[in-house]
Amino acid sequence: MSLLHIVTFSPFLLAIFVPFFYKYIRKVHTGWFVLPLPVLLFAYFTQFISTVSHGNTYEQSFKWIPSLGIDVRLYVDGLSLLFSLLITGIGSLVILYSIYYLSKTKEALNSFYVYLLLFMGAMLGVVLSDNVIVLYTFWELTSLSSFLLIGYWYQREKSRYGAQKSMLITVFGGLAMLGGFILLYIMSGTFSIREMVQNVGTIASHELFIPALILVLLGAFTKSAQFPFHIWLPDAMEAPTPVSAYLHSATMVKAGIYLLARLSPIFADTSVWFVTVSAVGITTLFWGSFSAVKQTDLKGILAFSTISQLGLIMSLIGVGSAALHYEFLGDNIYVVAITAAVFHLINHATFKGSLFMVVGIVDHETGTRDIRKLGGLMSFMPITFTIAIIGCFAMAGLPPFNGFLSKEMFFTGMVHVTKMDIYNMETWGVLFPVLAWIASVFTFVYSMVIVFKTFTGKYQPEKLAKKPHEAPIGMLVPPIILASLVILFGLFPNLLAHSIIEPAMASIMPALLDTGEKFYVHISFWHGWTPELFMTMGVIALGVLLFITVAKWSKLYSLFPQKLALNHFYDRGLSAIDKGSYSFMRLWMTGFLRDYLVYIFAFLIAIVLGTLFVKDAFSMKFDNLAPVGVYEAILIIAMIIAAFMTVLSKSRLTAIIALGMVGYSVALFFILFRAPDLALTQLVIETISTALFLLCFYHLPEMQRLPKKFKFRMNNFLISLGVGVTVTLVALSSHSTKLFDSITQYFVENSYTEAGGKNIVNVILVDFRGFDTLFEITVLGIAAFGIYAMIKLRLTRKESEE
Amino acid sequence: MKVNDLILQTVTKVVAFIILIFSIYLFWTGHYTPGGGFVGGLMASSALVLMLLAFDVKTIKNVIPFDYKMIIATGLFIAVATGLGSFVFDVPFLTHTFGHPHLPGLGEVSLATASLFDLGVYLVVVGVTMTIIQTIGESE
């Protein structure tokens, strides 16, 4: 247990104490007790920056299940440090924000902070774990805590719907990912990611490589809300706004990106990876920004915006993998894509976090998030307005904010896809810059919608629930910090280049570096009259045009058929599964005993006969048979007649008598085959059971006493014929293939000398195999008590009813 | 309607004893000739059933005031106890022994502990059969 472990598990430890703070210290908002932890953790992680930026890593291991090779090995390198800083840093800000956002008296703060701390710890575990099983454990814990947080207002139906949807989709992906991890383990023999990276040659040539790749990608795509799994994210907006800001913009949705970046060294060298990741990323980017424009809820816009920005990062990671094919570091243009991915990851966390907080403030101070009701808030909330402008302009990719820089680099990466001469990109590559550019135009439009529809235009006080006013200072501090970071990283991007981005890139693409070599990143504002710059100008020009005319063309969205929407497919699919399984169960769980017997016997026939023929086990030998005597022949005929009478008789009484006849014939058989004990017992038992049958017959209710005619049913006939044939064949075969002598001889020889008895049957029953007899008499006892209880209890119930 | 079944009752008074004795015979000789606790028990209960048929349930309950459920329990107890008894002699569960002691007045007899176990079986069978028949007979 090292300090790093204590740090990772500290949120869980604190989560245990939160309810006590909540219960016993009611005067102070519980959030204040939570706040110091992420701040401390942030401080703790900053001390790694110097280690990591010099190309070193830090590792601590703690044995968990050593026999399975599962240990909690925590590993700090550029990538995990970047994520840890994001998680703890934005975590601190979100907790500060939530202290002012959530009411001390109205909300169940204890559960809120417990869930949030669970999430924070789980997220730290995901990014720091080196062991894939531990990573998976924390991964599912993030799904679970996210589920709890989305359903925080569980009395609302939409919250429950959103929570269930996100749970189903992310757990589906998580399980797929677990499958991928297990395949990786089969291929490499280790659960450790870094050891897998060392064995990458063996893994890449293995036949399970592609299945593992696809499964891992499923996990990453569902978690990071990529097309078509993005549908859970907009519904997750039912969560409290601090949760949306933290989980659904800055941290959890980036877990999928983290996973891809982390496993890039293993998978990135294949065309499947390149094509899938970049194509899904660019599709998501386009679809997310396209859908964001039609939203009227501010959080809805931000949700689709998050989807689209995640797609952007995803496509950059995909395109960046092409760098592995052009292996000279000097002017490798595809490395820029990785740089852009890491840089935009940071930028997105800053501006999207601040935008969610802004939306939260607007919601909190006006009572609505609907842009149709909002407008003219600029004079009421100047600070919020400023932050919104900074965040949105950064999101739209305008200078001098950090979004501009990462968007320029994004365009650079996309433009260079067209120049690629692998994977048929000569023909398809042109789609990438085109889709990226269109998506950027839409991004520009919805960013402007957020700012100008909310803060400028006509003020509509009659539609607002509250009189708007500026938020309290505590609510403003976190977005102010984030917005300052947006400007800071925009003006001085190289602050991050050396300390964070380079080490993170080194963890994503270690294969590009020789030992001792390092990436060199220098982000500059001005890089000449490049195509990217013209693209940005085009985006602004067309974006302004579209924003001004948005009211005219946004009706086009309603042309899109609702039936083809992915949500519709999801809902229909869910109810189809529900109804399908219900009707499937109703189809064969009929409630009739007769049907179940048909299934049981049909399966018996199919399995036993099938085995008999598949294994070619049927055999018939006649060399060891006893001669058939006259008495046996007569008895057989009598029994057959009796059996037919039982089945075909028209009255029950005949059937009972015929059954008795069968029973007495069996007793006679026992006599013929020299089994006197059996014959005695059979006689008495047959008498008793016939008497009991007659009793039952006598007590049948009046209505059904009419003797029913025997009804012929083809199904039943076939099934019973089948069972008879099966059993006969099996009996013949087993009789014909006796593999060893019976042990009878031992009993014959030893019954007198060992047990002092001459009746071998009785000696076996009470001495050699007395144990069986002991439990047979127990069974008899239980039967007697059962009958007694059934009859007596029925009587007492009747009495109590009267 | 009151039926005069004097013949049946008289015959029963004689025959029941014969059946009972036969059942005891079956039980005792079970180790050497066909018979044993199970058939013996069934035979004994058939004697009791015959008495039930000839007389009514109440009369028989007065004559033979046993709770048959207790007889089941006693039989099971005897069977388990013979099994447990083998532990006293440090041998596995349900190990039986036998001997041919010379008893005064009876001469040489063959005695086996397995018979004690068989006695348990006998009692359980009697108890079970009688419990079932009496319960069903008493209902309605």
pLDDT band at A626 (very low <50, low <70, confident <90, very high): confident
B36: left (phi over 0), alpha (psi -120 to 50) or beta: left
Q: pLDDT category, B82, cuts 50, 70, 90?
A: confident
**Does pLDDT of A797 surpass 70?**
no
> Cβ separation of B36 and A766 shorter than 8 Å?
yes
- Beta-carbon separation of A784 and B118 below 8 A: no
* CB-CB under 8 Å, B96 with A770: yes
C-alpha B35/C-alpha A761 separation (Å) is 9
Where is A400: in which H helix or E strand? none
Residues B42, A684: C-beta atoms closer than 8 Å: yes
pLDDT at A402: 83
Model pLDDT for residues A351-407, shown as the tens digit of each residue: 888 999 988 888 888 888 888 888 777 788 888 888 888 888 888 888 778 888 888
Do A784 and B117 count as a contact with CB atoms less than 8 A apart?
no
Statement: residue A477 has pLDDT above 80? yes
pTM: 0.80
Under a CB-based contact definition with an 8 Å cutoff, are residues A339 and A521 in contact?
yes
Identify the pLDDT of residue A70.
87
Query: Mean pLDDT over all residues of chain A?
Result: 85
Distance from CA of A592 to the nearest CA of B (A): 28
CA gap A94, A103 in Å, rounded = 15
B44 pLDDT band (50/70/90 cuts)?
very high
**Worst-scoring range by mean pLDDT, A256-260, A553-557, B128-132?**
A553-557
Question: What is the spatial distance between Cα B119 and Cα B38, in angstroms, rounded to a whole number?
Answer: 9
% of chain B surpassing 90 pLDDT = 27
Residues of A in contact with B135 (CB under 8 A): 787-788, 791-792
For residue A691, the chain B residue with the least C-alpha distance is B133
Omega of the bond leading into A211 within 30 degrees of 0 (cis): no
Residue of B nearest to A677 (CA): B34
> Which pLDDT score, from 0 to 100, does residue A51 have?
85
pLDDT reading at A328 higher than 60: no
Per-position b or e across A375-405, b if 16+ CB within 10 A of its CB? bebbebbebbbbbbbbbbbbbbbbbebbbbb
The per-residue pLDDT for range A566-612, each reduced to its tens digit, is 788 888 888 999 999 999 999 888 888 888 999 999 999 999 999 98
Residue with tokens 């998501």: A284
Which chain A residue's Cα is nearest to B100? A756
What confidence score (pLDDT) does residue A22 get?
Answer: 86
- How far apart (Å, rounded) are the C-alpha atoms in residues B6 and B4? 6
Q: What is the mean pLDDT of residues B82-105?
A: 80
pLDDT at A8 over 80: yes
Contacts of A771 in chain B (CB under 8 A): 93-94
Inter-chain contact B32–A788, Cβ cutoff 8 Å?
no
Predicted local distance difference test score (pLDDT) of residue A664? 93
Q: Which residue has the tokens 């070599």?
A: A517
Question: Which residue among B38, B75, B94 places its CB closest to the CB of A770?
Answer: B94
Q: Alpha-carbon distance B89 to A65, whole Å?
A: 48
The C-alpha of A639 sits at a distance from chain B's nearest C-alpha, in angstroms, of 24
Chain B residues whose CB is inside 8 A of the A765 CB are 36, 38
CB < 8 Å & 24+ apart, contacts of B101-110: B110/A756, B110/B31, B110/B32
Contact B69 A784 (CB under 8 A): yes
- A676-712 pLDDT, tens digit per residue, is 989 998 998 898 888 888 877 777 766 555 555 666 7
A448-457, A512-521, A742-751, B110-119, range with the lowest pLDDT: A512-521
At A60, which amino acid appears?
A: Q
Predicted confidence (pLDDT) at residue A55 exceeds the cutoff of 70: yes
pLDDT of residue A526: 60
Q: A777 contacts in B (CB within 8 Å)?
A: 75-76, 79, 120-121, 124-125
Question: In the Cβ-directed half-sphere of A556, how many Cα atoms lie within 13 Å?
Answer: 10
From A676, A767, A780, residue closest to B128, measured CB to CB? A780
Report the range of poorest mean pLDDT among A89-98, A460-469, B32-41: A460-469
* Residue carrying the six token digits 């200078």: A399
Q: Does residue B23 surpass a pLDDT of 90?
A: yes
Closest approach of B43 to chain A, Cα-based (Å): 8
ipTM of the complex: 0.92
In B, which residues are within 8 Å of A787 by CB distance? 131-132, 135-136
Q: In sequence order, what DSSP letters do the residues of A569-588 get, joined into one string? A: HHHHHHHHHHHHHHHHHHHH
Bridge partner list, A61: A73
CB contact under 8 A, A685 and B31: no
Whether the CB-CB separation of A202 and A127 falls below 8 Å is answered with no
DSSP codes of every residue in A111-150: HHHHHHHHHHHHHHHHHHB-BHHHHHHHHHHHHHHHHHHH
User: Does pLDDT of B19 surpass 90?
Assistant: yes
The answer to which of A412-416, A517-521, A651-655, B3-7 has the lowest mean pLDDT is A517-521
The confidence band for A633, taking pLDDT boundaries of 50, 70 and 90, is very high
Q: Taking CB atoms and an 8 Å limit, are A787 and B131 in contact across chains? A: yes
Among A190, A144, A509, residue whose Cα is nearest residue A319: A509
Q: Find all residues with CB under 8 Å of A328, minimum gap 6, and list them.
A: none
* In contact, A767 and A755? CB cutoff 8 Å: yes
Residue-wise pLDDT tens digits, A537-553 = 888 888 888 888 877 77
Evaluate if residue B112 carries a pLDDT over 70. yes
Q: B71 CB contacts (<8 Å, ≥6 apart)?
A: B123, B124, B126, B127, B130
Average pLDDT over residues A31-49: 90
Give percent above pLDDT 70 in chain A. Answer: 93
pLDDT of residue A594: 87
Range with top average pLDDT, A376-385, A510-519, B33-42: B33-42
Give the least confident one: A89-93, A428-432, A793-797, B122-126.
A793-797
**Chain A: residue whose CA lies nearest to B78:** A774
Mean pLDDT of A662-669: 93
Query: B96, A766: Cβ pair inside 8 Å?
Result: yes
What is the structure's pLDDT at A24? 87
Distance in Å, alpha carbon of B120 to nearest chain A alpha carbon: 9
Cβ <8 Å between A773 and B117 = yes
Paired strand residues for A108: none
pLDDT at A565: 75
Residue A329 has pLDDT above 60, yes or no: no
Q: Hey, are the CB atoms on B114 and A757 less than 8 Å from each other? A: yes
**Cβ contacts of A769 on chain B, cutoff 8 Å:** none
Per-residue pLDDT, A577 = 92
Please answer yes or no on whether B46 and A684 come within 8 Å at the CB atom. yes
On the question of pLDDT at A94 being above 80, the answer is: yes
Q: Determine, for residues B37 and A784 on separate chains, whether the beta-carbon distance falls below 8 Å.
A: no
Write down the pLDDT at residue A173: 92
Stated as kind and residue range, the H or E segment containing A533 is: helix A531-548
Higher pLDDT, A368 or A258: A258
Yes or no, beta carbons of B96 and A774 under 8 Å apart: no
Burial class (CB in 10 A: 0-12, 13-18, 19+), A724: exposed
Residue with token string 């709770």: B67
Residues of chain B neighbouring A770 (CB-CB closer than 8 A)? 83, 94, 96, 114, 117
| Cβ contacts of B118 on chain A, cutoff 8 Å | 762, 766
Compute, in degrees rounded to 10, the torsion defined by CA atoms A526, A435, A339, A488. Answer: 50
Q: What is the pLDDT of residue A215?
A: 92
Minimum CA–CA partner of A787 in chain B: B132
Q: What's the average model confidence in pLDDT over A190-214?
A: 85
Q: What is the mean pLDDT of residues A196-220?
A: 86
* Chain pair A-B, CB pairs under 8 angstroms: 128
Question: Best residue in A685, A766, A768 to probe B by mutation, most B CBs within 10 Å?
Answer: A766
- Omega before A478 cis (within 30°)? no
For Cα atoms A268, A270, A276, give the angle at the middle one, nearest 5 degrees.
80
* Per-residue pLDDT, A515: 59
Calculate mean pLDDT across residues B64-87.
89
Q: What sign has the CA pseudo-torsion A317, A322, A325, A330?
A: negative
Please report the pLDDT score of residue A709 as a whole number.
60
Q: Which two tokens stand for residue A12?
A: 């869980």
Q: Give the residue among A610, A654, A661 at the shortest CA–CA distance from A635.
A: A661
Q: What is the pLDDT of residue A430?
A: 76
Residues of chain B with Cβ-Cβ distance to A677 below 8 Å are 34-36, 39
b/e map A439-450, b = 16+ CB within 10 Å: bbbbbbbbbbbb
